[in-house]
Amino acid sequence: MASFSAELEQVIARLEPTARRQRQSALLRPLNKSLIVFSAIGLVVMLIPPWNSGLTDYAIVGGSLLLNFLVAALDRAGNVRLASLLFSLTVNIGIVLLVVSNHSSIESFPTSILFSSQLALSIMLAGMLLGTAYAFLFAAVNVVTVFGLFFRYYNTVGAAAPAGPLTATISVSLPLGSFLVLVVVITWLYQRALAAADAQLEVARKRIIRDELIRRDLAVARELQLRLFPPPPITNSALQIATRSEPARETSGDFYDFIELGDGQLGIVVADVTGKSVAAALMMALARVAIRSEARRHTAPADVLRAANETICRDHTARQMITAFYGLLDTDTLTIRFANAGHPYPILRRGDYLHEIELGGMPLGGRSDTQYNEHFLQLEPGDQLFLLSDGLIEERNVGREMFGYARLGPAILSTDPADPEMALEMLWQTVASFRGEAEQSDDITLMVLQVAPRIDLQGKSGA
């Protein structure tokens, strides 16, 4: 878990600077383009009478335009922080120069005051692009600059009120300074709200990345688990086996297995761990190893399940029980002896007749002293033996109706009686059609053992 958290933090650490630069660039780029357009329009307008301006105004606007192109180049090169700082300084200095250029006469002084109020724009941009600290710094410098410019104007141009240059400067600078400070406060509130939104976004991003890492690991686990499902063995022309297992989630608690024991003896396992997903998959691996090990030590299926149950009960990490069918199939004589540990009963299809072979037992992992019984079955030509997990029987549709045994019998009888692959597919499609739009609620495993229609007891097809 600690390793997973460390991996998650490393991924976030790699992504965060990129995400921050992208957000900053997404705000800077349209602002800079807009200023380029407005500056270009301003230069054109300044050439048209009666708005002709002096060389100073042309220099201010033209210089600003060149700096905006430099900002665009820095942004494209990935230097977004430097581009944002240069952009904010360009806007601020450009406005200050326009204020200075209109301080030369009483007639242009109202325009100077108007431009002074536009310093709020540069403060706001600094706060949005660079942070609240820059907004406070820009505000402090601008308030001092405006106060000095107004004091110089009232002291030199001679337009001061009777109370003197200082009083006149304060009377003009105070409302303007208060406005700039108010803009800083608004910017700070905006940044605080943005920080809160970023924190929520960070939580969501971590959750998404964590889920993605989990999905990746589960996909690997699923791939590894699929390797535990062996293909149906090729025995002889008298017998065919078809299998299919579908998990409800990424990993499965269901499993089946074929254990080659020599001399035509084949161990067959179909089992189901209670629960789903990772915990069930881990328990499935434990149960598989236990049954495989005991199948090579014991001949009788009842002894195999008894010994596997003792092994699982001794493992104190096991918290779940396993229903299991274990059969020992003689592929030459087509006889099968089997024991059952709480698993759904096997269903024998013989012509138009279905026989549910009732043989119960305590699930593995329940009690260590559990004993199991056996059943002997002689398979005949044309027989089909259906082995399944309870996920198929308990599948539900959107109306929460269960598929159940009442539907299972007719569904089996409607399948192909001679082709196990086709029979399996037809039964699977019947269940899927019943489920409809509802999600698969449990792992489903199905195995069909098919005896050839005409055989001799040596396992060869008859004439």
Indicate the range of 11-15, 52-56, 379-383 predicted with least confidence: 11-15
Task: For residue 397, give Cα distances in angstroms to 15, 252, 400.
Answer: 43, 21, 5
Amino acid at 42: G
Looking at mean pLDDT, say which of 11-15, 146-150, 313-317, 417-421 comes out highest: 417-421
Structure tokens at 302: 């009842």
Question: pTM of the full predicted structure?
Answer: 0.59
At 65-104, the pLDDT tens digits run 888 888 888 888 888 888 888 888 888 888 888 788 777 6
Residue 2 has pLDDT above 60, yes or no: no
At 413-422, the pLDDT tens digits run 999 999 999 9
Residue 204 has pLDDT above 60, yes or no: yes
Whole-angstrom Cα distance, residue 2 to residue 67?
49
At 266-285, the pLDDT tens digits run 999 999 988 666 777 778 88
**pLDDT interval class at 462 (50, 70, 90):** very low
| Cβ count near 105 (within 10 Å) | 11
Question: How confident is the model at residue 208, as a pLDDT?
Answer: 77
Whole-angstrom Cα distance, residue 157 to residue 172?
15
Which of 295, 283, 307 has its CA nearest to residue 257? 295
At 291-321, the pLDDT tens digits run 999 999 999 999 999 999 999 988 766 678 8
Q: Which residue has the tokens 């929520």?
A: 200
Q: What is the DSSP letter of 260?
A: E
Sheet containing strand 347-350, strands side by side: 239-246, 444-451, 384-388, 347-350, 353-356
Residue 459 has pLDDT above 50, yes or no: no
**pLDDT interval class at 363 (50, 70, 90):** very high
Question: How confident is the model at residue 251, as a pLDDT?
Answer: 67
CB 326 within 8 A of CB 291: yes
Mean of per-residue pLDDT scores for the chain: 83
**pLDDT interval class at 224 (50, 70, 90):** low
Compute, in degrees rounded to 10, the torsion defined by CA atoms 360, 364, 366, 368.
110
Question: How confident is the model at residue 371, as a pLDDT?
Answer: 94
Tell me the domains of the chain and their CATH numbers.
2-212 (no CATH), 228-451 (3.60.40.10)
Whole-angstrom Cα distance, residue 124 to residue 121?
5
Structure tokens at 106: 């009483």
